[in-house]
C-alpha cells in the first residue's frame, strides 16, 4: 500500500474523517492507585501555572466539529482502526510506528505526524494498512486537529527532549505543554476517545534536591520539585492529560487517557548513545568515569517502551475504568547500573573502555566544569550552539539514583517486556556498531 502523504495545510483546515470505529462505552474514573506519591502533583519552581486557556482550536474547528462520528461501539467489528502517532519519526516514535504495524491487527490506517518526516516512511509496505505521513507541528492547533480528526487512538510522543540547552525554555514549554494541550483539545473537538501520552520518569525526578528514588513505584512518596524546563514541561503536560480523562468528546462519550513514564530509553536510534560513542572514538577509545558506579539509573529498551504504548492503547478501551487517568512507569529487565556503566554494556563490545573504577575527577571539579560549560554556552549562543553532554543539570541527574520497580502496568493491562535484556543488548550493540561505521 503506497504511503500517502498529507501536509497539514497551514491556515486552512483540511481534515478527513476516516471511518472511525471501535470504542467501548467506558465509565472513566481514577483507579484507587496513583493518586498519591510519585503520581502526585509535582512542583515546577518559577514556571507559569497551568492556565485554563483552551487552544485556538475552538474557532478553527467549527466545521470539523459538526462532522458526525459513527457510533463507536457499533462499528468496531465493521471497520479497522485509525491510529495517530505524533512524533512518529523520532527515536521512540519510529519504534512505536513499526510495532503498531507488526502487532496491532486492528490497524486500518496509521497516521504518522511529525515536524520532520523520515525517508524510511516510504519503505513501509504494510499490506492492508494505509500509512499516512503528515508533516505538521503540534504547536499549530489546526494542524493537530486535521491529523486527529477521525482517529480512534492517539499516541502522543512528540516533544522536545532537550536537557542540553539547545532550545529555549519557552520553546520547550510551547512544544511539550501547548502541543499536548492542542492534542487533547483536538481529541475533544473531533471525537477521538483514546489518548496515550508519553510522559517521563523526569516528571517525578530526580528532584532539585538530589533525593534518590530507589526501586520506587507509582505510589512512592517523593518530593517532585523541578526547575529545569524539560521536566517542568513534562510534568505540566502529564497533568493536562490526566485531568482530561473523562472529558466529554464530540459525540458525547468520555475521553480516556493514560500516561506512560519511561525511564532512560536506549536502543536503536538513541542519539545520546551515539554521542558517547563518538566522544570515545575522539578520545582514542577511552571514556573517563565521571559518576560513581554505585549511582543506579533506570534504563529501558526502546522496543519494550514501544510495546507498552501499543498494549496500553489497545487495552485503554477495554479497561477504561481502571486505566483512565492513570500513570505507569515503563521499564523492563535492563540491569540497574550507573548511566556510564550501563552505556558500556554496548560501547565496550564496540571497542571503547571506561577508565577508572571511580570518578577520575573530584565532584566539586565536575560541578565547576559543568558550570563552565553552561557559561560558555551562554557566551557563545549568539555565534554558535555549544551543547556538551556535561552541564549542571545532566551532572545532577546522572549523579542521583533513580530506579523503578513496579507491576502496575502488568496488573492493569498485562504489560510484560517483549524483549529480554539479552536481546535488547544485542540489538543495541549491532546498531552502535553499524552507526559507528559512519561515526567517523
Ligand X SMILES: NC(=O)C1=CN([C@@H]2O[C@H](COP(=O)(O)OP(=O)(O)OC[C@H]3O[C@@H](n4cnc5c(N)ncnc54)[C@H](O)[C@@H]3O)[C@@H](O)[C@H]2O)C=CC1
Ligand Y SMILES: CC(C)[C@@H](O)CC[C@@H](C)[C@H]1CC[C@H]2[C@@H]3[C@H](O)CC4=CC(=O)CC[C@]4(C)[C@H]3CC[C@]12C
Q: Which residues bind ligand Y (CB under 6 A)?
A: 161, 163, 200-202, 264, 272, 290-291, 297, 339-340, 389-390, 394-395, 397-398
Contact indicator for 87, 158 with CB cutoff of 8 Å: yes
Question: Which residue from 26, 60, 69, 139 is in contact with ligand X, where contact means CB under 6 A?
Answer: 139
> SS3 of 192, please?
coil
CB of 268 to ligand X, least distance (A): 12
Residue 160 in the binding site for ligand X (CB under 6 A): yes
Question: How deeply is 100 buried, as exposed, middle or buried, from its count of CB atoms within 10 A (0-12, 13-18, 19+)?
Answer: buried
- Of 397, 246, 249, 419, the C-alpha closest to 323 is 246
Closer CB to ligand X, 94 or 108, in the complex: 94
Residue 313 in the binding site for ligand X (CB under 6 A): no
Q: Which helix (H) or strand (E) holds 63?
A: helix 62-66
Residue 138 in the binding site for ligand X (CB under 6 A): yes
The CA angle 96-97-101, to the nearest 5 degrees, is 115
Q: List Cβ neighbours of 62 (8 Å cut-off, separation of 6 or more).
A: none
Question: Which residue from 90, 231, 246, 298 is in contact with ligand X, where contact means CB under 6 A?
Answer: 90
- Of 230, 277, 336, 393, catalytic: 230
CB of 290 to ligand Y, least distance (A): 4
Q: Which stretch binds ligand X (CB under 6 A): 3-11, 26-34, 62-70, 90-98?
A: 90-98
CB of 198 to ligand Y, least distance (A): 9
Query: By beta-carbon distance, which residue lies closest to ligand X?
Result: 90
Distances in Å between the alpha carbon of 140 and those of 57, 230, 277, 376?
A: 9, 20, 36, 33
Retrieve residue 339's grid coordinates.
548511566
DSSP string, 285-343: TEEE--S-TT--B-EEEHHHHHHHHHHHHHHHHHTHHHHTTEEEEE--S---B-HHHHH
Q: List strand residue ranges (DSSP E) for 62-129, in order.
A: 81-86, 107-114
Query: By beta-carbon distance, which residue lies closest to ligand Y?
Result: 264
Catalytic residue check, 230: yes
Residue 55 in the binding site for ligand X (CB under 6 A): no
Closer CB to ligand X, 22 or 172, in the complex: 172
Residue 391 in the binding site for ligand X (CB under 6 A): no
Question: Which residue from 55, 108, 179, 417 is in contact with ligand X, where contact means CB under 6 A?
Answer: 179
Residue 229 in the binding site for ligand X (CB under 6 A): no
> SS3 of 388, please?
coil
CB of 25 to ligand X, least distance (A): 30
> SS3 of 255, please?
coil
Q: Among ligand X, ligand Y, none, what does residue 398 contact (CB within 5–8 Å per kind)?
A: ligand Y
> SS3 of 130, please?
strand
Q: Among ligand X, ligand Y, none, what does residue 12 contact (CB within 5–8 Å per kind)?
A: none
What amino acid positions are annotated as catalytic residues?
230
Catalog residues that contact ligand X under the rule CB under 6 A.
87, 89-93, 114-116, 137-139, 157-161, 175, 179, 198, 200, 234, 262, 264-265
Amino acid at each position: 500500500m503506497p504511503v500517502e502523504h498529507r501536509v497539514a495545510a497551514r491556515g486552512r483546515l483540511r481534515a478527513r474523517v476516516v471511518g472511525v470505529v471501535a470504542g467501548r462505552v467506558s465509565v472513566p474514573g481514577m483507579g484507587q492507585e496513583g493518586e498519591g506519591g510519585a503520581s502526585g502533583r509535582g512542583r515546577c519552581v518559577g514556571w507559569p501555572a497551568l492556565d485554563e486557556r483552551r487552544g485556538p482550536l475552538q474557532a478553527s474547528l467549527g466545521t470539523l466539529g459538526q462532522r458526525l462520528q459513527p457510533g463507536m461501539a457499533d462499528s468496531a467489528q465493521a471497520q479497522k482502526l485509525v491510529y495517530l502517532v505524533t512524533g512518529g519519526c523520532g527515536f521512540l516514535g519510529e519504534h512505536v510506528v513499526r510495532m503498531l504495524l507488526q502487532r496491532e491487527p486492528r490497524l486500518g490506517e496509521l497516521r504518522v505526524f511529525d515536524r520532520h518526516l523520515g525517508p524510511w516512511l516510504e519503505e513501509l509496505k504494510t499490506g492492508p494498512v494505509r500509512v499516512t505521513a503528515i508533516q505538521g507541528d503540534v504547536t499549530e492547533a489546526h494542524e493537530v486537529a486535521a491529523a486527529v480528526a477521525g482517529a480512534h487512538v492517539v499516541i502522543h510522543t512528540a516533544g522536545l527532549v532537550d536537557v542540553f540547552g539547545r532550545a529555549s525554555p519557552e520553546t520547550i514549554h510551547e512544544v511539550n505543554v501547548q502541543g499536548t494541550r492542542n492534542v487533547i483539545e483536538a481529541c475533544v473537538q473531533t471525537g477521538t476517545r483514546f489518548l496515550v501520552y508519553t510522559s517521563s520518569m523526569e516528571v517525578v525526578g530526580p528532584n532539585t534536591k538530589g533525593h534518590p528514588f530507589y526501586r520506587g513505584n507509582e505510589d512512592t512518596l517523593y518530593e517532585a520539585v523541578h526547575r529545569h524546563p524539560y521536566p517542568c514541561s513534562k510534568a505540566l503536560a502529564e497533568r493536562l492529560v490526566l485531568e482530561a480523562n473523562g472529558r466529554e468528546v464530540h459525540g458525547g462519550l468520555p475521553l480516556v487517557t493514560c500516561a506512560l513514564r519511561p525511564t532512560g530509553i536506549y536502543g536503536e536510534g538513541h542519539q545520546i548513545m551515539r554521542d558517547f560513542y563518538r566522544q570515545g572514538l575522539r578520545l582514542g577509545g577511552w571514556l573517563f568515569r565521571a559518576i560513581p558506579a554505585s549511582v543506579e539509573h533506570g534504563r529501558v529498551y526502546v522496543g519494550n517502551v514501544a510495546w507498552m504504548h501499543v498494549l496500553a492503547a489497545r487495552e485503554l478501551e477495554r479497561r477504561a475504568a481502571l486505566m483512565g487517568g492513570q500513570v505507569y512507569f515503563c521499564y523492563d529487565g535492563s540491569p540497574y547500573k550507573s548511566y556510564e556503566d550501563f552505556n558500556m554494556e554496548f560501547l565496550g563490545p564496540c571497542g571503547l573502555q571506561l577508565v577508572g573504577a571511580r570518578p577520575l575527577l573530584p565532584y566539586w571539579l565536575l560541578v565547576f566544569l559543568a558550570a563552565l560549560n553552561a557559561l560558555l554556552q551562554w557566551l557563545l549562543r549568539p555565534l554558535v550552539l555549544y551543547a556538551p553532554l556535561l552541564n549542571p543539570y545532566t551532572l545532577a541527574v546522572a549523579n542521583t539514583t533513580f530506579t523503578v520497580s513496579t507491576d502496575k502496568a502488568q496488573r492493569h493491562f498485562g504489560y510484560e517486556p517483549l524483549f529480554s535484556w539479552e536481546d535488547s543488548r544485542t540489538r543495541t550493540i549491532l546498531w552502535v556498531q553499524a552507526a559507528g561505521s559512519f561515526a567517523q
